[in-house]
Amino acid sequence: MRIAYTSEQIRAAEQALMALLPPGTLMQRAAAGLAAACAGALAGRAGRVYGSRVAVLAGGGDNGGDALYAGARLARRGARVEAVLAGSRAHEAGLAALREAGGRAAPYSEERAREALGGADLILDGLLGIGGSGALRQPYADLVTLANQAPGLRVAVDVPTGVASSDGRVEGPAFRADATVTFGAYKTGLFVDPGAEHAGEVTLVDIGLGPYLPDPDVAALTAADVGALWPRPGAESDKYRRGVVGIAAGGSRFTGAAVLAVGGAVRSGAGMVRYAGQELPVSAVRARWPEAVITTLKPGEGVEEVGRVQAWVLGPGLGTDDDALQVARSVLAGDEPVVIDADGLTLVARERSLLRRRAPVLLTPHAGELSRLIGAPREQIEARRLEHARRAASELGATVLLKGSTTVIAEEGRPARVNTNGIPWLATGGTGDVLAGIAGTLLAAGLSCYDAASCAAYTHALAAREASAGAPLAALDVAESLPRALRALLSPASL
Q: State the Cα–Cα distance between residues 314 and 398, nearest whole angstrom.
A: 15
Is 405 within any annotated ligand binding site? Answer: yes
Q: Which residues make Cβ contacts (< 8 Å) with residue 96, sequence separation at least 6?
A: none
Q: Say whether both 481 and 333 belong to one domain.
A: yes
Is 406 within any annotated ligand binding site? Answer: yes
The helix (H) or strand (E) run that includes residue 203 is strand 201-205
Q: Say whether both 179 and 254 belong to one domain.
A: no
Is 252 within any annotated ligand binding site? Answer: no
Q: Say whether both 266 and 184 belong to one domain.
A: no
Q: Read off the CATH number of the domain in which 242 is found.
A: 3.40.1190.20
Is 33 within any annotated ligand binding site? Answer: no
Q: Say whether both 101 and 161 belong to one domain.
A: yes
In angstroms, how far is the first alpha carbon of the chain from the final one?
12
pLDDT tens for 273-298 read: 999 999 999 999 999 999 999 999 99
Domain end among 197, 218, 239: 218
Give me the domain span that covers residue 489: 223-494
Domain end among 170, 196, 218: 218
Q: Read off the CATH number of the domain in which 30 is found.
A: 3.40.50.10260
* Cα distances (Å, whole numbers) of residue 438 to 93, 272, 312: 55, 13, 11
Is 257 within any annotated ligand binding site? Answer: yes
Return the pLDDT at 411: 98
Mean pLDDT (the chain) is 95
Q: Say whether both 128 and 96 belong to one domain.
A: yes
Is 407 within any annotated ligand binding site? Answer: yes
Is 134 within any annotated ligand binding site? Answer: yes
pLDDT tens for 302-361 read: 999 999 999 999 999 999 999 999 999 999 999 999 999 999 999 999 999 999 999 999
Is 431 within any annotated ligand binding site? Answer: no
Is 317 within any annotated ligand binding site? Answer: yes
Q: Say whether both 391 and 242 belong to one domain.
A: yes
411, with CB counted inside 10 A (0-12, 13-18, 19+), is buried
Is 433 within any annotated ligand binding site? Answer: yes
Q: Say whether both 429 and 304 belong to one domain.
A: yes
Q: Say whether both 205 and 255 belong to one domain.
A: no
Q: How confident is the model at residue 134 (pLDDT cuts 50, 70, 90)?
A: confident
CA dihedral 110, 115, 121, 124 (to 10 degrees): -30
Q: State the Cα–Cα distance between residues 404 and 419, nearest whole angstrom.
A: 10
Is 198 within any annotated ligand binding site? Answer: no
Q: Say whether both 229 and 200 belong to one domain.
A: no
Q: Say whether both 17 and 161 belong to one domain.
A: yes
Is 135 within any annotated ligand binding site? Answer: yes
Phi, psi for 458 (deg, rounded to 5): -65, -45
Is 140 within any annotated ligand binding site? Answer: yes
CA dihedral 374, 376, 380, 384 (to 10 degrees): -30
Indicate the angle between helix axes 449-468 and 431-444, nearest 10 degrees: 140
Return the pLDDT at 495: 45
Is 119 within any annotated ligand binding site? Answer: no
Q: Say whether both 76 and 62 belong to one domain.
A: yes
Q: Say whether both 205 and 229 belong to one domain.
A: no
Domain end among 218, 253, 288: 218
Is 118 within any annotated ligand binding site? Answer: no
Q: How confident is the model at residue 492 (pLDDT cuts 50, 70, 90)?
A: low
Decide: pTM greater than 0.75.
Answer: yes
Q: How many domains is the chain partitioned into structurally?
A: 2
Is 217 within any annotated ligand binding site? Answer: no
Is 398 within any annotated ligand binding site? Answer: no
